[in-house]
Structure 1
């Protein structure tokens, strides 16, 4: 009647040396990826915030391209955003409104000859400021005209 299950502690020894080595390798790789890629995503978040702040400016339609760039530059300076996002700022005026675009690609070396490529494309269209910061306009057509 009494079917008892015998538990053998002999087979329950924990993780082996190779198991621990695998866990440490995976954690090390994850930490390397996070430490290399996180600053780019933090900058992208600040770019998003800068465009949202700009969209709330009531005088945005009357501002010149230089004034818009200066306003964005101030925001970037305060939030320590440097490099590609600040260089990729583009202001395009059209009949239906102004498009402020920050479209850039960042290549970050990860390990030896392995690079990670991150693409960011944020736009503010003054015709639809509530849809900030998703790209609504393909600016390639404007670049081809220049």
Structure 2
């Protein structure tokens, strides 16, 4: 009786390992970008839950927002990325920014993030 071996060769194992390693490397580059985005959303949500936020002036609202981001070590959101617009019963806060991280050689990973939060007396839902 002749037996045949089944399984992966060393070359196929190395190829699979390289592909898995590449995707793990890309995930390590993407994770901080998305983690920061969720910190921005959490800061906006916390700001909307704050009492009397609808009556605050825009400079005070931005100061409170950036204090919350400072706690979460957020470094990519700048003042020019934050827009406040007056609505009927409060403010609408838009945050739109871009993060660019080097990947391999001259290739970069670019993430564009945008979120909106209504800052009213009763709070509001984030988009």
Deviations 1:77-135 (A, max 9, x none): 1111112x234122222445411111012222211122222111011123584322x1x
Which SS does the other structure have where 1:131 is aligned?
coil
Larger Rg: 1
Q: Among residues 52, 63, 69, which one is paired with 1:70 in the alignment?
A: 63
Instruction: Give unmatched runs, 5+ long, in structure 1.
Output: 1-5, 135-146
Structure having greater relative contact order (Cα 8 Å, sep ≥ 6): 2
Asked if 1:17 corresponds to 2:10, the answer is yes
| Match among 117, 128, 132 for residue 110 of structure 2 | 117
- Using the size of structure 1 for normalisation, the TM-score is 0.76
What is the DSSP-based 3-state SS (H/G/I as helix, E as strand, rest coil) of the residue aligned with 2:124? helix
**Consecutive unaligned residues in structure 2, runs of 5 or more:** none
Structure number with higher strand proportion: 2
CA distance in 2, matches of 1:11, 1:115: 43
| TM-score, L = length of structure 2 | 0.86
Partner of residue 86, structure 1: 78
CA RMSD of aligned residues (A): 2.0
